Amino acid sequence: MSSSKHTEIAQAAVRLFEQKGYRATSVQDIADAVGLQKGSLYHYIHSKEDLLMQIAHQAISEFNRTLEKINHENISPQKKLAKMIENHLTISAVNREAITVLLRDAFALEETQHRTIIELTDKYTDLVTSILQEGQQKGEFSVKHPKISALAILGACNWLYRWYQTDGSLTVQQISQIFADLFLNGLLSN
């Protein structure tokens, strides 16, 4: 099996799933996009659903790997949270198609695969929650409900795929600074 052909198939699937949606994309669409007969495509993949699982798994795993590294850095919880936001938004902008597929289409996976994605997503939420708990313990954050606060932060960060434009007036770094300021300093004037 050619790994470059498999990569080409995965990239075509990401693009088609993002454009048309997972359910509306057929195996024939993917085969056409990479210049293969439908039957030949199955030499490289088991099913369309396996492609979706691969895309979703790679996307959420990248978030987890990045945040695990940040959590092990010897920096303050404030800096960890700011870095988490910047990294989350950067990953979302750079891998917009895959993140769109993860957030919009992963629910279409069969139960066992969907549960795997949910477990990885919960792990990521727990990593964000742990930053807030660390900040709470060190007196840096006044957070009544770290898990709910983590979900609010992730909700804002996850929505970037819907509205961010690479040619817009703000860079991802500028947006991440705005988000970090909002979550670290709140809305009240001092």
pLDDT in tens, the chain (190 residues): 468 999 999 999 999 999 999 999 999 999 999 999 999 999 999 999 999 999 999 999 999 999 999 999 999 999 999 999 999 999 999 999 999 999 999 999 999 999 999 999 999 999 999 999 999 999 999 999 999 999 999 999 999 988 988 899 999 999 999 999 999 988 665 5
- Fold annotation for 1-45: Arc Repressor Mutant, subunit A (1.10.10)
Count CB atoms within 10 A of the CB of residue 2.
10
CA 1 vs. chain centroid, Å, equals 28
Domains of the chain, by residue range, sit at: 1-45, 47-185
Comparing C-alpha atoms, which of 68, 55, 122, 151 is closest to residue 95? Answer: 55
CB contact at 8 A, 114 and 57: no
User: What is the reported pTM?
Assistant: 0.90
Structure confidence by residue, pLDDT tens digits, 9-28: 999 999 999 999 999 999 99
| Residue range 47-185 in CATH 1.20.1250.20 | no
CB contact at 8 A, 78 and 132: no
CB contact at 8 A, 90 and 172: yes
